[in-house]
Amino acid sequence: MEELLQLLTETCPGIDFAGSEALIDDEILDSLDIVTIVSAIMDTYGVTISVDDLVPENFNSVAAMLALIQRLQA
């Protein structure tokens, strides 16, 4: 979790990832942020995220993103 949090903070500086469970729903992240985050996650974790994974539920919180990564690594 800490590693992912650090990656997200480096990728999208200025966003309080740890403090929100509704990053998309609360309009903290937008669709362009998601694309940037996806690129960073794929590069760092070696997973393939598809267009169909680009839904708010997968990016609303750090925990949701971690769950997506773990699902793709399984």
Partner 1 sequence: MRQVVDYPALSAAISACMRPGMLTNCTLSGEELRREMAAGTLYAHPWAGGLLLFRRREGFWRMYYYINDPGCPPDLPWPSQVVTEIVRRPRDTAAAADLWQAWGFVRESTRIRMQRPGSETGEALPPPEAVDAEEAMDLLQRCFDPRTGCLPDLEELAANCAGGRVLTRRDEGGRLIALLRAAPYRKGWELRHLAADPGHRGEGLAGSLAAEFTRRFGEKGSVVWVREDYAAPRHIYEKNGFCPDGWTAAVLIRKDD
Which of 44, 33, 35 lies closest to 4 in space, CA to CA? Answer: 44
Binding mask 9-48 for partner 1 (x = CB under 8 A): -----x----------x-x--xxx--x--xxx-xx----x
Contact flag: residue 6 with partner 1 (CB under 8 A): no
Work out the angle between the directed axes of helices 2-11 and 62-73 (0-180°, nearest 10). Answer: 110
Q: Which is nearer to partner 1, 2 or 50 (CB)?
A: 50
> Which two three-digit tokens encode residue 19?
């403090």
> How many residues of this chain interact with partner 1, rule: CB under 8 A?
19
